[in-house]
Chains A and B, each alone.
Chain A
Amino acid sequence: MSATPWLGRSLSDLSAALSRREVSSEEVTRAVLERIQATDGRLGAFLTVTPEPALEAARSSDARRARREALSAIDGVPLGLKDLFLTKGVETTAGSRILAGFIPPFDATVVERLRGAGAVLVGKLNMDEFAMGSSTENSAFGPCRNPWDLTRTPGGSSGGSAAAVAARQVFGAFGTDTGGSIRQPASLCGVVGVKPTYGRVSRYGVVAFASSLDQVGPIGRTVADAARLLGAVAGHDPRDQTSSTRPVPDYLAGLEDGARGLRIGVPRQWFQGGTEAGVERRVREALSAYQSMGATLVEVDLPHSKYGVAAYYLVAPAEASSNLARYDGVRFGLRAPARALSDMYGETRDAGFGAEAKRRIMLGTYALSAGYYDAYYLKAQKVRTLVRRDFDQAFERCDLVAGPVSPTVAFGLGEKLADPLQMYLADVYTISCNLAALPGLSVPAGLHPENRLPVGLQLVGRPFDESTLLRAARALERELGPSPAPEAIESGGRNRVVR
């Protein structure tokens, strides 16, 4: 029997079905591989697909199941990974030409944990080079498209991850979020994306962009799916000394407790006209829905969030300029042939890095230069402290903060490429959460009233309080009903526009 019908279901449903032996992991994995084969030429979500290892993992899972030894709720479930996670023996490029052909000798901690839980990893997902971008157009290997409208971007930088989950190519995926790189594409693709608290998930084996901001998180079709995926990878890792030793709660416990009694902060600064009307309408409707579910809305102030984008574009490039220094052609990755050492460095990095990576290396190098450090990097770090203080004060009056994820729905391919500043402003609402090291998520809030493209609601919580965010997101999900699947990916065209 074909397992194809299962592709439309959630990870949680599949997990239950696997337990009941209604379908085998091998059957589902075959269906997933066929689906990727059939759709990814149009979508461009995958950089690498690994059918053989995936099927082998699936058969192992089925064997465990037969012996009643299933490892976890994700045992046998096909998942995808942003191509930023090191996978032993499987090419890992970070979306960059400079790492083309790089075969890591070890697995990232997240990958190790997923394998340990029995997950079936089917491949590596497209992304903006080194996670720098908001559209996945900065991938050295071609853009990924939005499954709701193939002329538009899926967002980024974890665009491949969000698109693959939305297009029913995988049951869940992992991305990273440095300034919105999970939440924004999740919002633009109509799926759930969680950026956990900084330190909640190990960064070991994840190609670094901006170390003090990067955080790994899941993308799922439903809130419960995302909760299961987060639970599978969260927790202290001795190999990442910035990871927290706090115990990981059961993210499924209390998930169905509803929104009654929650105090939801609505930041004044997030509703000052910078958001497209149709997006803002859906966000406000979501807030009303919370009120009707018994939550209270509290107006809060985040006065320093207006400096967020500026501070972010000093801190993140500064760290990136240092993190990307290791791509020098000496030990791995691309090496341009040259006689002199300095020529080899220059030519390797010129040929290996794309325009955005180069732009950020230059910005960061400048910001850290002697004589400029105090005015730029240090000042940006002070802004971070103030942004965090804003949130701390807000959380004295509310349990979480809600607002838009992105000022617009998915934008067209090429639309913002010529204007980096416009691209940077796509992250205006998501960046503060990273600067303040707080958890945030994007949950579908319905489709845009005109173009029927997904709109996400952002929720930001107290440090390590992912549970409250997930519970609130689940309440909205239940209220709005299951989010629809994109149709464009089936036909290769655009979603039907309803006026």
Chain B
Amino acid sequence: MVSDFQLVIGIEVHAQLLTRSKIFCGCSTAFGGEPNSRVCPICLGMPGVLPSLNRKVVEFAIRTGLALGCAVQEKSIFARKNYFYPDLPKGYQVSQYELPICVGGGVDLTVDGAEKRVRLTRIHMEEDAGKSLHDVGGDGSSGVDLNRAGVPLLEIVSEPDIRSIDEAIEYLRSLRAILMYLGVNDGNLEEGSFRCDANVSVMPRGSEVLGTRCELKNMNSFRFLRQAIDFEMRRQVEVIEGGGKVRQETRLFDPQRGETRPMRSKEEAHDYRYLPEPDLPPVVVPAAWVEEVRRTLPELPRARGARYQQELGLSAYDAGLLTADREIAEFFDAALRAHGGGSAAAKRMANLLNGDLARLANETGLAPGAWRITPAAFSGVVRLADQGVIGGPGVRQVIEELFRDGGDPDAVVAARGLAQVSDESAVESAADAVIAASPGEVERYRAGNRKLLGFLVGQVMKSMKGKGNPAVVNAVLTRKLGD
């Protein structure tokens, strides 16, 4: 049974760096474009060309290493990983092998309320390959697009510390959020700028000996990752329980069928014939550079979340949602600053951001940077709610309108007539009319059926076309019925 086995996962992430130019030449790193429009002799691997290391790539590697608690190495070297493939122009990938730029470090997670640290083995810099395009002319021929060749990557390798699928997903979510906070990666799984391979094995519960692992590739969403690991875990357990042995191999996830299939076995694995890259001198990172980069590190998601809980009294859940995306957290911070408010406003903002705004963002696919509602306008909505000018339905309506069209919350409230009636005399006359029109209900209420207050409040609200301030209506009716 699957429950008799312990799942063990290690993850390799390939994160494209958000540098403007490629790692070894000046070509643009922008996604897409006409095939082979963002290429030059260097990334085409023409005879005689040499790489020139993009300094920004090293800076981003240092930045990431520091954020993840790695030891940034004073000296690291590039190496050539040799293999033939049409989308690999030089016949080797320039990567790092024996001496990577960062070693150690880890990612702290909270999974089901439990704290967990996934240790990192290493982080290294390398160049991306191009893409093979199959059946391009409809004639069965293949083409190669080298726009992506030479885009800088960080490969972030974890130890096999992950023990469940939820931990794997949380590890990737956390790592992705950190890279996005650092501004080094855009976190896009679908376009492949954040890619993950998972090394999966199982061992009998209680055992300390790791089982034979399979490397899973081609999972470009968290959902697929979940499916792939789940399938693979069950497959391996089945093999073992059937008396077989898991073979070490690389397996490809097939999203159509939701299963993994062998790609190549250990015996078929490439001998990459690594050698130190003779065209590049060692990468030397003086301590002063590391310190300079350290000073520019932003507050990271976990630290920010802890601050939200301690200083603003938000729940761990709300804090987690707000900090998962740096832009959301910054929107929140800016709105709270504009409001000048404390814990109550923070709570209300968190609810709205994680609720209505998250839903709208999801529906439209817009990131906070593209929203038309500004943090100041959002704080205005919260202020109007604080003041009782608008109630729950009004808030929702204003937010929807501001999200869609932008503008000023006061103007929207005025234009749509969304302001609540808090004026006691207006509420009193409506209450008097309802009391007069409902003698039976009033009598039963006074006889002790307190539940009927809700019915009477509803009647008043209805007569005021929903604009009565619920708190005022409640207070006025309670007073009058108590007579």
Contacts and interface: CB of A to CB of B under 8 A. Distances in A.
B86 interface: yes
A271 interface: no
Contacts of B45: 326, 331
A105 interface: yes
Contacts of B289: none
A353 B453 CA distance: 95
B50 A104 contact: no
B297 interface: no
Contacts of B80: 322
A325 B50 contact: no
Size category of the binding interface on chain A: 35 or more
A241 interface: yes
Interface residues of B, number: 28
B271 interface: yes
Given A211-B279, A322-B91, A365 B273 contact: yes
Interface in A207-251: 207-208, 210-212, 238-242
B41 A105 contact: yes
Contact of B280 (A206, A241, A325, A345): A241
A330 B47 contact: no
A47 B288 CA distance: 53
A319 B275 contact: yes
A104 B47 contact: yes
A207 B47 CA distance: 5
Contact of B86 (A85, A105, A108, A330): A330
Interface in B417-466: none
A405 B84 CA distance: 39
B91 A206 contact: no
Interface in B250-280: 271, 273-275, 278-280
Given A102-B47, A205-B49, A212-B278, A325 B86 contact: no
B279 A345 contact: no
Chain A binding surface SS class: loop
Contact of B84 (A203, A332, A345): A345
Chain B binding surface SS class: loop
A486 B91 CA distance: 44
B49 A325 contact: no
Contacts of A203: 48, 50
A319 B278 contact: yes
A322 B52 contact: no
Given A86-B47, A319-B275, A238 B90 contact: no
B363 to A, nearest CB: 45
Contacts of A85: 48
B5 interface: no
A357 to B, nearest CB: 13
Interface string B77-117: 00010101010011110000000000000000000000000
Interface in A90-122: 92, 94, 99, 102, 104-106, 108
Contacts of B50: 203-204, 239-242
B281 interface: yes
Contact of A369 (B51, B92, B273): B273
A318 interface: yes
A239 B84 CA distance: 26
Interface string B328-341: 00000000000000
Interface string B37-60: 000010011111111110000000
A328 B281 contact: no
A242 B52 CA distance: 10
A264 interface: no
Nearest to B146: A331
A325 B82 contact: yes
Contacts of B280: 241-242
A345 B274 CA distance: 21
B52 A106 contact: no
B144 interface: yes
A330 B452 CA distance: 82
A201 to B, nearest CB: 13
Contacts of A331: 44-46, 89, 144
Closest 7 CB pairs of A and B: A325-B91, A211-B278, A368-B273, A212-B278, A205-B48, A207-B47, A326-B45
17 contacts: A104-B48, A205-B48, A205-B49, A210-B278, A239-B52, A241-B279, A242-B50, A319-B278, A321-B82, A322-B91, A325-B90, A326-B89, A327-B47, A330-B86, A330-B144, A331-B89, A368-B274
